[in-house]
Amino acid sequence: MRIAGAGSAFPQHRYRQAAITAALQDIWREKLDNPEVLRRLHSRCGVDFRYMALPLEAYPAVDTFGKNNNAWIETAQEIGEDAICRAITPAGIEPDEIDALFFTSVTGICSPSVDARLVNRMKLQPSIKRLPIFGLGCVAGAAGIARAADYVRAFPDEVAVLLSVELCSLTWQRDDVSVANLISSGLFGDGAAAVVIAGSETRFPGPEVVATKSVFYPDSEDVMGWDVSERGFRIVLSPDVPNVITEHLRADVDEFLGERGMARSDIASWIVHTGGPKVLDAVQSALHLPREALAASWESLRSVGNLSSASVLLVLQDFLARRRGAPGTYSMLAAMGPGFCSELVLLRW
């Protein structure tokens, strides 16, 4: 199985972090005892710019779950189609040559799902196999690659596409001034990413998916996720996330590599989800990596924020475009998310 291409797309509305902070200070003016707290929290998120599904001035009027979700459905189709086209076109793949479509998002819902709507919108083949995934959150980019690789392992002459669309701004909760919500409003952005995973009997080159590993940590549901109500998605974000990474990630990676007679020293590069400064610091600490080893992740965080499941796919796209490994070298792609869990993908260039 090979990664044959990757592409990304964003809404047209791009703002500096300071502009988003100012807009939210205005929205929450009567609820915040000290508006400077929001500015201070946002300044620590490591984010310079973010894309938004809507113009900043439009958000006060989008005041129900239904309105937010309708905006999610519309925007998800637009940038989802764009991301897929940007992933398949350089590889010379036509839309009707996609055999399976995996779709992941945790910021909106619909039925028929977005992948079904894209079959109509993009004229994909009617026999395409679809797998919409909801609930995996930040880990879903890595998990989606792993599940798509499982698919093409079974059907080696076929091509699968993984699409992630996350529109985190459409989950903002206007009545929630908890620290978790204030931080998330400064950390998460909007965007889409797609990855092409091709079977071993296809003509497409790219880094090989050597192996994957899923690890679930029992009794950790309260670390990250959503509380879902008539108001929509309310963030669950524990300050223990970096501690969980520090406690588990090194052992998970070492066990995964040890099963193949390898060690961390055999990994030439690290393709890691951009969870936030504390998360990236925890990854560096757990794996004994210098900061420059995660330069692509830090850069993505600064440029667009944390895009939940799409983030690690953006970092992968950057590696494919600008940071390709030497032939025969290995990369580790990793993400963690609600469950709490981790997903590891070993790649060979």
Query: Average pLDDT of 66-81?
Result: 97
**What is the pLDDT confidence band of residue 115, given thresholds at 50, 70 and 90?**
very high
Per the annotation, the verdict on 45 as an active-site residue is: no
Query: What is the C-alpha to C-alpha distance for residues 292 and 250, in angstroms, rounded to an integer?
Result: 18
Mean of pLDDT over the chain: 94
Structural domains of the chain in order of their starting residue, each with its CATH number: 2-198 (3.40.47.10), 208-348 (3.40.47.10)
| Helix runs in the chain, H state only | 17-27, 36-43, 65-88, 114-122, 140-154, 179-187, 241-258, 277-287, 295-304, 311-322
- Asked whether residue 238 carries a pLDDT value surpassing 90, the answer given is no
Is pTM beyond 0.85 here?
yes
Distances (CA, A) of 65 to 68, 107, 307: 5, 11, 20
Marked catalytic residue, from 45, 85, 110, 138: 138
